[in-house]
Amino acid sequence: MNVLDTKQITNKVLSAWADHKDRTGMSQLKGAQALGMGQSAFSQYLRGKEGGGIPPNHSFILKFATLVGTSPRDLGWADENVIVRTQFIPVLYTFCGKAIKGNKLAVSSTVVAENIFAIENNGTGPTSLDSSEYLLASTNDTIRSGDLVWLVRNANNTMLTLYGRVFKDMKWDVVSIFDGIKIHAEEILKGDKVYRITGSYIPPRQTEIFTKG
């Protein structure tokens, strides 16, 4: 078993969760609360990557195994799974609408970053983001209403990029929300590219190291 066997691990998680529910009567909401996450996030872990959700990772597996009274190894997650890799993720866009070529972001993680690109904040994104923070977007994740997305449109030699949540009223729109305020809604056109935001990354700072006492 290795870190790439996400489907097998997700199946074991689903089986362990079903047994735990039958044994304790715990609801998915209560399970999510015990794991310190929202019900939506827990549901995505149960769906796994193949089901359009979140692939298993070390933090989730450790907490989930404790919750259901099993071991990470019984879920297919052995010690050799915990491999920190330095991966180079292409930086393709910035928040100011500028495309980037050739830049890559070095990310050290136990999670394999497949089909992911980064968006540089460069100080023009929402104030809720750190000034050095990068958003990470997937090129093949399933997108559902309410997801955070990155829209790219090329028309008349001009590129439009938009960060927001995707919703469907009469048609699908990307609603741009900065600092909690709805500032713009853009209808998604046939030629647009829309990518699901899967997370963010803040590079280590080159500043003084914190020590207690």
SS (H, E, C) 113-182: CCCEEEEECCCCCCCCCCCCCEEEEECCCCCCCCCEEEEEEEECCEEEEEEEEEEECCCEEEEEEECCEE
The pLDDT value recorded for residue 55 is 85
The pLDDT value recorded for residue 139 is 92
Tokens of 159: 């590129």
The pLDDT value recorded for residue 212 is 77
The pLDDT value recorded for residue 88 is 83
Q: Domains of the chain (ranges plus CATH)?
A: 6-81 (1.10.260.40), 85-201 (2.10.109.10)
What is the DSSP secondary structure assignment for residue 99, as one 8-state letter?
B
Distance CA 14, CA 20 (A): 10
pLDDT in tens, 48-61: 888 888 888 888 88
The pLDDT value recorded for residue 103 is 81
The pLDDT value recorded for residue 137 is 94
Residues in the chain predicted with pLDDT less than 70, given as ranges, are 1-4, 79-86, 97-102, 109-112, 123-125, 127, 177-181, 183, 213
